[in-house]
Amino acid sequence: MRAKIIGLLSAGAMWVLLSWGGPAQAGDPEVGISVLPLRYISVDGDRPKFREHQWMRDRYVFGVEDFEFNYGLADGTQLSSEAHALIDQNDLGGEITLKKEGLGFLTFDYNEFSKYFDNTGGVYYRFGTLSGQDADKDLELEIGHFGFKTGLRKEDVPEITFTYEREFKDGAKSRLTWAGVKEGSTTRFIGPSWQDFDERVDMLELEVADDFRGARLTGKQHVEFVRTESTRVEKSLSTTTTASDKKIRRQLQSPESDLYTTFLGAERWFWDRKLFTSGGYQFAYLNFTELEDIFETNENGVITNFSNPKQKRDATADNDYFTHTWVGNAVLYEWEDVAVGLKLKSELVSRDSNSRYPEDSNPNSSGGSTPDGFVEEAEISTNDSTAVRWGEGLNIHYTGIPYTALYSELELEQSRIKLEEQSVSYATGAVSFERDTITDADRGTVTVGGRVTPVHYVDLTTHYRHRRDNQDYDDLFETDPGSTAARSAFMDGMSIDTDEIMARVSLRPVRKVRTSFRYQLQDKDYLTRAESEPRRKSEFTSHTYTYDLTIHVLRELMLMGSFSHQTAATVTPARLAASGQVPVFNADVNTWLVGADYMMRPNLTLDASAQYSEADNFNDFTSTGLPLGADFGQIDLTCGLRCELAQDTSVRAEYGYYHYQPGSQAEIGKYKAHLVSLAVSKTF
pLDDT digit string (tens) for 624-673?
A: 777 777 889 999 999 999 999 988 899 999 999 999 999 888 888 899 99
Q: Which residues constitute the domain of residue 504? A: 390-554
Q: Which of 507, 513, 587, 497 shows the shortest CA–CA distance to 544?
A: 587
Across 564-577, average pLDDT? 88
298 and 354 both lie in a single domain:
yes
363 pLDDT higher than 60? no
577: amino acid identity, one letter: A
Residues 473 and 505 occupy one common structural domain? yes
Q: Is the pLDDT of residue 515 over 90?
A: yes
Nearest alpha carbon to residue 138 among 47, 245, 264, 35:
47
Q: Three-state DSSP class for 20? A: helix
**Does one domain contain both 188 and 286?**
yes
Say yes or no: 429 and 470 in one domain.
Answer: yes
Query: Around Cβ 65, how many Cβ atoms within 10 Å?
Result: 18
Instruction: State in Å, rounded, how far the first CA of the chain is from the last one.
Output: 28
Q: What is the pLDDT of residue 456?
A: 86
Last residue of a domain, one of 527, 554, 581: 554
Contact 468, 442 (CB under 8 A): yes
Q: Are 598 and 568 in contact (CB under 8 A)?
A: no
Q: What integer pLDDT is reported at residue 26 of this predicted model? A: 56
151: which residues sit within 8 A by CB, 6+ positions away?
104, 105, 159, 160, 161, 162
As beta bridge partners, residue 327 has 280, 345
Q: Are residues 349 and 454 in the same domain?
A: no
Mean pLDDT of 84-112: 94
Nearest to 78 by CA among 59, 95, 99: 99
Is 508 domain-assigned?
A: yes
pLDDT band for position 458 (cuts 50, 70, 90): very high
DSSP β-bridge partners for residue 111 = 93, 145
Is there a single domain that holds both residue 182 and residue 297? yes
Task: Assess contact for 245 and 231: CB atoms under 8 A.
Answer: no
In a domain, 564, yes or no: no
Q: Average pLDDT in the 217-222 region?
A: 97
The dihedral built from the CA positions of residue 204, 252, 56 and 49, taken in this order, carries a sign that is positive
Write down the pLDDT at residue 166. 97
Q: Tell me: pLDDT of 1 over 50.
A: no
* CA 215 – CA 261 distance, rounded (Å): 23
- What is the identity of the amino acid at 413? E
Residue 588 lies in a domain: no
**Longest CA span, the chain:** 90
Higher-confidence position of 123 and 290: 290
Q: Are residues 484 and 424 in the same domain?
A: yes
Tell me the pLDDT of the chain averaged across its residues: 88
Which whole-number Å values give the CA distances from 552 to 51, 217, 313, 458, 598, in the listed order?
A: 35, 52, 68, 18, 10
Is there a domain that residue 610 lies in? no
**Do 593 and 609 form a contact (C-beta atoms < 8 A)?**
yes
Q: Which residues contact 553 (CB under 8 A, 6 or more apart)?
A: 512, 559
Number of Cβ within 10 Å of residue 8's Cβ equals 12
How confident is the model at residue 372, as a pLDDT?
Answer: 65
Q: Which 3 state secondary structure label does DSSP give 620?
A: helix
What pLDDT, on a 0 to 100 scale, did the predictor assign at position 373?
Answer: 64
Nearest C-alpha neighbor of 560 from the set 526, 523, 512: 512
Q: Which residues pair with 565 in a beta bridge?
A: 545, 590
On whether residue 669 sits in a domain, the answer given is: no
Domains contained in the chain, number: 2
| Count of other CB atoms within 10 angstroms of residue 610 | 16
Q: Which amino acid, one-letter code, is at 653?
A: A
The 3-state secondary structure of 70-98 reads EEECCCCEEEEEEEEEEHHHCEEEEEEEE
pLDDT higher than threshold 80 for residue 623: no
Cis omega (within 30 of 0) for bond into 255 = no
Q: What one-character DSSP code corresponds to residue 617?
A: -
For residue 648, being part of any structural domain is answered with no
> What confidence score (pLDDT) does residue 297 get?
86
Q: Which residues, including other chains, have CB under 8 Å from residue 335's CB and lie 6 or more apart?
A: none
Are residue 175 and residue 284 in the same domain, yes or no?
yes
> Is the residue at 56 inside a domain?
no
Q: pLDDT confidence of 74, banded at 50, 70, 90?
A: confident
pLDDT above 80 (res 283): yes
> Rounded to two decimals, what is the model's pTM?
0.86
Residue type, 47: R
Query: Per mean pLDDT, which range of 182-191, 501-510, 632-641 is the poorest?
Result: 182-191
Q: Is residue 381 part of a domain?
A: no
Q: Are 684 and 30 in contact (CB under 8 A)?
A: yes
Residues 313 and 416 in one domain: no
Q: Which of 70-79, 174-183, 635-644: highest mean pLDDT?
A: 635-644
CA atoms in the 13 A half-sphere facing the CB of 411? 12
* CA 421 remoteness from chain centre: 31
Task: For residue 154, give the amino acid letter.
Answer: K
Position with higher pLDDT, 203 vs 648: 203
371 and 395 share one domain: no
| Percent of the chain surpassing pLDDT 90 | 63
Domain boundary among 375, 398, 428: 375
Residue that is last in its domain, among 533, 554, 575: 554
Strand ranges in 46-185 using DSSP code E only, listed in sequence order: 59-72, 77-86, 91-100, 104-117, 139-152, 159-183
At 17 the pLDDT is 42
301 plus 175 within the same structural domain: yes
Q: How confident is the model at residue 369 (pLDDT cuts 50, 70, 90)?
A: low
Same domain, 350 and 225: yes
Predicted local confidence at residue 530, as pLDDT: 82
Alpha carbon distance 220, 498 (integer Å): 36
Please write the tens of the pLDDT for every residue from 417-445: 999 998 888 777 777 788 899 999 999 99
Assess contact for 201 and 226: CB atoms under 8 A: yes
